[in-house]
């Protein structure tokens, strides 16, 4: 699903007067939507502009003075957060945390989802119902025992612990999403491959996987953004003090510099830049993934 093509319900206007009439009758809608657009854009734009303004000026003039055309801009804020405030290090940590915490769940979920969709074994449906039930278990339900478990495994406060926690928590949703996709693949296709003597593993690898790229992409993007944007797991499991991802780093900045907007604004945009690139380049998969993920 994308944001949908505009369905032309009405015939195109034929004459100039018709066109003018239509614009006038629709004026309230245009005005209302313009206000909606402003409300949804201005908060983000305001912070974006602020991230490029000299610290000394942010507290004396509002970012909206840009409409009067009298603001100065600088890259100092980004230089400062990336360098002395450690956001470059945190950016790298976010990548280190997110890439395995996306690849591993996609792999394990694809395996299990195929098993639930196309391999026969006893209690298959009951086990799948348990997976569906686990979808909603909040992270809070496992925090304390996981800290103990990871401590005894020697991975508490290490990237490994965070990868494991994110992978385990991604499983119910990923299995659910991919299994529901795999089940729609034509049975004949899989039977035909079986008759040709392909092993279950080969059917999975050479028939099912190539056909499932859109579903895998939706899940991968959803999971990537979930981990990238995560705060709670990182607060508990991320390596301190040098392994913190950007979300926890911004949380720290808020504690120390609650009104240093030049730092907070630049740091926030560093978190946002990757999701925004994903949003604009892979919009279709992105919306699909997020809508499907609403069960989580």
Partner 1 sequence: MSTATAARESAPDVAKSRGPKFLQGWNMAALIFIGPAVLLLAVFMIYPAIRTVVLSFDNGLDNYVQLLTADPRFLSLRWPPGGSIFNNILWLLFYTGGCIVIGLIVAVMATRVRYERIIKAIVFLPMAIAATALGVIWRFVYSPDPDTGLINAILGVVGVDPISWLGNATFVNTALIIAGIWGSAGFAVVILSAALKGISSEILEAARVDGATEGQIFRRIIVPMLSLPISVIAVTLTINVVKLFDLVYIMTKGGPGNASNVIAVQMYQQFSARNFDYSATVAVVMLIILIPVMIFNIRRFRSERVVA
Residue 35 sits in the site that holds partner 1 (CB under 8 A): no
**Nearest distance in Å: CB 220, partner 1:** 15
What is the chain's alpha carbon radius of gyration, rounded to the nearest angstrom?
Answer: 25
**Cis ω on the peptide bond leading into residue 241 (within 30° of 0)?**
yes
**Nearest distance in Å: CB 124, partner 1:** 8
Distance CA 221, CA 227 (A): 10
Identified binder of partner 1 from the candidate list 162, 268, 285, 292, rule CB under 8 A: 268
**Nearest distance in Å: CB 67, partner 1:** 12
Q: Which range, of 70-78, 81-89, 95-103, 283-291, touches partner 1 by CB under 8 A?
A: 283-291
Q: Which residue carries 């939507």 as its tokens? A: 33
Closest CA to 134 of 170, 165, 104: 170
Sign of CA dihedral 182, 184, 189, 191: positive
Report which DSSP code applies to 126. Answer: H
Q: Which range, of 66-74, 82-90, 211-219, 256-264, touches partner 1 by CB under 8 A?
A: 256-264
Give residues 176-215 in contact with partner 1 (rule: CB under 8 A): 183, 200-201, 204
Distance CA 150, CA 233 (A): 13
Determine the Cα angle at 187 with ends 183 and 191, to 5°: 130
**Nearest distance in Å: CB 213, partner 1:** 19
Taking the least distance from each CB to partner 1, the nearer of 119 and 213 is: 119
Taking the least distance from each CB to partner 1, the nearer of 88 and 287 is: 287
Give residues 136-155 in contact with partner 1 (rule: CB under 8 A): 136-146, 148-149
83 by Cβ neighbours in 10 Å (0-12 / 13-18 / 19+) ranks as exposed
Identified binder of partner 1 from the candidate list 20, 27, 33, 92, rule CB under 8 A: 33
Residue 160 sits in the site that holds partner 1 (CB under 8 A): no
Residue 243 sits in the site that holds partner 1 (CB under 8 A): no
Distance CA 296, CA 293 (A): 5
**Nearest distance in Å: CB 83, partner 1:** 20
Give residues 88-107 in contact with partner 1 (rule: CB under 8 A): none
Distance CA 156, CA 239 (A): 8
Residue 232 sits in the site that holds partner 1 (CB under 8 A): yes
Closest CA to 105 of 283, 271, 286, 226: 226
Q: Which range, of 79-87, 126-134, 185-193, 211-219, touches partner 1 by CB under 8 A?
A: 126-134
């Amino acid at each position: 699903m994308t944001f949908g093509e505009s369905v032309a319900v009405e015939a195109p206007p034929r004459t100039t007067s018709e066109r003018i009439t239509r614009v006038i009758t629709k004026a309230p809608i245009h005005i209302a939507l313009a206000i909606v657009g402003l409300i949804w854009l201005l908060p983000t734009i305001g912070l974006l502009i602020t991230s490029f303004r000299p610290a000394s000026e942010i507290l004396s003039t509002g970012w909206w003075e840009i409409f009067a055309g009298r603001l100065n801009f600088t890259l100092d804020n980004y230089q400062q957060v990336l360098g002395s405030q450690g956001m470059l290090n945190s950016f790298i940590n976010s990548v280190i945390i997110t890439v395995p915490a996306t690849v591993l769940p996609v792999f394990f979920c694809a395996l299990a989802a195929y098993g639930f969709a196309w391999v026969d074994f006893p209690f298959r449906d009951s086990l799948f119902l348990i997976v569906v039930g686990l979808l909603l278990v909040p992270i809070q339900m496992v925090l304390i025992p996981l800290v103990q478990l990871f401590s005894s495994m020697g991975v508490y406060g290490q990237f490994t612990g965070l990868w494991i926690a994110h992978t385990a928590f991604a499983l119910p949703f990923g299995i659910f999403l991919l299994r529901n996709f795999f089940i729609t693949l034509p049975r004949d296709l899989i039977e035909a491959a079986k008759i040709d003597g392909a092993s279950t593993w080969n059917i999975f690898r050479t028939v099912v996987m190539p056909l499932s790229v859109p579903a895998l992409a939706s899940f991968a993007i959803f999971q990537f953004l979930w981990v990238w944007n995560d705060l709670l797991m990182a607060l508990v499991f991320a390596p301190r003090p040098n392994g913190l991802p950007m979300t926890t780093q911004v949380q720290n900045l808020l504690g120390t510099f609650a009104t240093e907007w030049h730092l907070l604004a630049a740091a926030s945009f560093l978190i946002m830049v990757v999701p925004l690139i994903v949003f604009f380049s892979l919009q279709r998969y992105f919306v699909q993934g997020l809508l499907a993920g609403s069960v989580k």
